[in-house]
Amino acid sequence: MLEFCIEDSVPFGVVSIEAGEEVGGGAIPRSVGTTANIQQVLPISNDRFLVSACGAKRFQIESDIEEIPYPTAQVAFSLPDDDTAVKGTGDPELLTPEIWKQYLTLGKLRDRVIGAWQPSPNNPLTEHRFCDSVGAYTEGYASDLLRQDLLSTYEAKDRIPVANSILNQAIHKLSRQLRLLDATRIGGIHQN
């Protein structure tokens, strides 16, 4: 598969496992995944490779997965975040000002922890773009399983509450990290 993707300059698909074992077959994949563009391939021992790839576009699996010679399936790219699809409902009850404020707070906290600054969007994104951004923005600061639920959930009305839970979890973790960083900068750690 790797050889095919490199020769033809095509991405491969990545899908998390809903149940079963990752290796050896019998795994039940989630219905939503993402394409991954290969960035770098480094050969290591025993005909193995380290592959660096970047997620690009969400897809929905439409057919059963064939296992020969490697797992393949028919997929659809017409998810709500696709450029050809509806850009969200625009329902102000879904992406509330409170949730948007949490998103901006997360950005400020994250910037302080990593010691960098990134510009914040001036206005709320569409629901699906917002949820995708929350998933990417919270890597390392929120549960991977919860972030996967955000990717796998299809409807905006179902994705926004998951995004809100992720924001709360990430803000809590970042706030704690900042308290520890601030305490060490001023000469001691104070437990609360």
Is 91 contained in some domain?
no
Q: What is the DSSP string of 118-184?
A: -PPPSSPPPHHHHHHHHHHHTTTTS-HHHHHHHHH--SHHHHHHHHHHHHHHHHHHHHHHHHHHHHH
- Tell me which residue range forms the domain holding 54: 2-76
The answer to the question of residue 83 being in a domain is no
Q: Are residues 121 and 172 in the same domain?
A: yes
Asked whether residue 60 is domain-assigned, the answer is yes
- Confidence at residue 19, expressed as pLDDT on a 0 to 100 scale: 77
For residues 176 and 143, membership in a common domain is answered with yes
Cα 100 to Cα 94: distance, rounded to the nearest angstrom: 10
Asked if the structure places residue 82 within a domain, the reply is no
Q: Pick the more confident residue, 118 or 22.
A: 118
Q: 28 in a domain, yes or no?
A: yes
For the chain, how many structural domains are there in total? 2
How high is the pLDDT of residue 82? 42
Compute the distance between CA of residue 151 and CA of residue 159 in angstroms, rounded to an integer. Answer: 8
User: What integer pLDDT is reported at residue 92 of this predicted model?
Assistant: 54
> What's the pLDDT tens digit per position in 60-76?
888 877 777 777 888 88
**Does 165 have pLDDT greater than 90?**
yes
Terminal CA-CA length for the chain = 52
Q: Flag whether 140 is in a domain.
A: yes
**Tens-place pLDDT, residues 3-14:** 888 888 899 888
φ, ψ (nearest 5 deg) of residue 28: -105, 115
Is position 192 within any domain? no
Residue 170 lies in a domain: yes
Best-predicted range by mean pLDDT (135-139, 163-167, 188-192)? 163-167
Least confident of 13-27, 60-74, 132-146, 170-184: 13-27
Please report the pLDDT score of residue 151 as a whole number: 76
Q: Are residues 107 and 170 in the same domain?
A: yes
Residues 50 and 105 in one domain: no
